[in-house]
């Protein structure tokens, strides 16, 4: 995704001497803000990959495939070989294995009291192609956000957005199972949008930044129209991420950041603008209600 360059093109230090510096990344970050080292997002990637290997080992196609849909793919992998492509074209396990290991199944959540599936489904993937698509998106989006806002806030947005996506998916998709981190990823996209809106005053080229992000979001939502893609999880995660972004990704305005350089007795701006507080209150209320 091209989302990683959004802020680099949308914000700069023009007419603000000594207030910004440019690092090796395309972001311009205030030198008074702490830059975090991204470790949580890489850990999420490792965890997702590790879970996929465990799922494939348990799936054990050579010993469990009945042969109705053909033979296992990549038999040289042994127990890690994939189900026949007619059964799973994404190079992955069987639906039975995913369901057994925690895929989102409305009937089991609603009637079997297995609410834990709302969380476990986020860590499961239908195949290698599905896993690669999600993990590449997570790296491009998540690392930049974690560097700017820290692991705690981005981790919360990721997990709660995935949960929100599972909730909406379970309400509308009741005949099939659902797996994947897409809801959590769309939550990060939603958080990027609300971060842009709530921190609007620190951006130059505002229209370009907003249009770029909206196009990225629209393209990803359009992909959700394709068959066998759970767009309800995308929408649920996206809406959750937007609200959490207003709550967790607030930045102080420029005048407050530079307050230590203001002469004694001079007027110092408040930390946040009034509209930022309005967004924050509305988002908190909607998160609680939701």
- How many separate domains does the chain show? 1
The per-residue pLDDT for 261 is 52
pLDDT at 275 over 50: yes
Q: CA-to-CA distance for 172 and 47, rounded, in angstroms?
A: 28
Half-sphere exposure of 44 (CA within 13 A, CB side): 28
Most confident of 43-57, 228-242, 269-283: 43-57
The per-residue pLDDT for 130 is 92
Average pLDDT over residues 200-221: 81
Structure-block tokens of residue 196: 């842009």
Q: CA-to-CA distance for 190 and 256, rounded, in angstroms?
A: 26
Q: CA-to-CA distance for 157 and 240, rounded, in angstroms?
A: 8
Average pLDDT over residues 191-213: 84
Q: Which domain holds residue 36?
A: 3-289
CATH of the domain at 46: 1.20.1540.10
Q: CA-to-CA distance for 104 and 170, rounded, in angstroms?
A: 7
Give tens-digit pLDDT for 120-137.
Answer: 999 999 999 999 989 999
Query: 22 by DSSP, 3-state: which?
Result: strand
45, 139 Cβ separation under 8 angstroms = yes
pLDDT at 26 over 80: no
| Residues labelled catalytic | 182, 234
Average pLDDT score over the chain: 82
Average pLDDT over residues 6-14: 43
The predicted model scores a pTM of 0.82
The per-residue pLDDT for 247 is 93
The per-residue pLDDT for 2 is 39
What's the CA angle centered on 44, arms 161 and 249, to 5 degrees? 45
pLDDT at 277 over 50: yes
pLDDT at 217 over 80: yes
Give tens-digit pLDDT for 237-260.
Answer: 999 999 999 999 988 766 555 555
Least-confidence region, from 18-27, 72-81, 238-247, 265-274: 18-27
């Amino acid at each position: 995704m091209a989302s990683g360059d959004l802020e680099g093109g949308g914000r700069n230090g023009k007419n603000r001497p000594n207030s910004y510096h440019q690092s090796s990344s395309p972001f311009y970050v205030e030198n008074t803000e702490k830059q975090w080292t991204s470790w949580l997002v890489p850990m999420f990637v490792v965890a997702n990959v590790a879970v996929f290997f465990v799922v494939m080992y348990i799936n054990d196609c050579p010993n469990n495939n009945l042969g109705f849909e053909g033979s296992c793919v990549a038999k040289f992998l042994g127990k890690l070989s994939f189900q026949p492509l007619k059964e799973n074209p994404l190079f992955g396990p069987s639906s039975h294995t995913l369901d057994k290991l925690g895929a989102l199944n409305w009937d089991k959540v609603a009637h079997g009291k297995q609410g834990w599936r709302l969380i476990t489904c986020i860590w499961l993937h239908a195949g290698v192609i599905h896993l690669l698509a999600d993990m590449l998106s997570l790296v491009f989006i998540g690392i930049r956000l974690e560097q700017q806002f820290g692991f705690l806030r981005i981790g919360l947005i990721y997990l709660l957005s995935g949960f929100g996506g599972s909730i909406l998916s379970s309400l509308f998709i009741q005949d099939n199972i659902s797996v994947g981190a897409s809801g959590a990823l769309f939550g990060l996209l939603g958080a990027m949008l609300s971060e842009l809106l709530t921190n609007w005053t620190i951006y130059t080229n505002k229209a370009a930044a907003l249009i770029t992000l909206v196009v990225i979001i629209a393209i990803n939502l359009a992909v959700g129209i394709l068959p066998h893609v759970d767009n309800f999880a995308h929408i649920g995660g996206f809406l959750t991420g937007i609200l959490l972004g207003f709550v967790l990704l607030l930045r102080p305005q420029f005048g407050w950041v530079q307050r230590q350089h203001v002469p004694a007795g001079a007027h110092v701006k408040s930390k946040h603008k009034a509209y930022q507080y309005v967004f924050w209150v509305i988002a908190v209320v909607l998160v609680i209600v939701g």
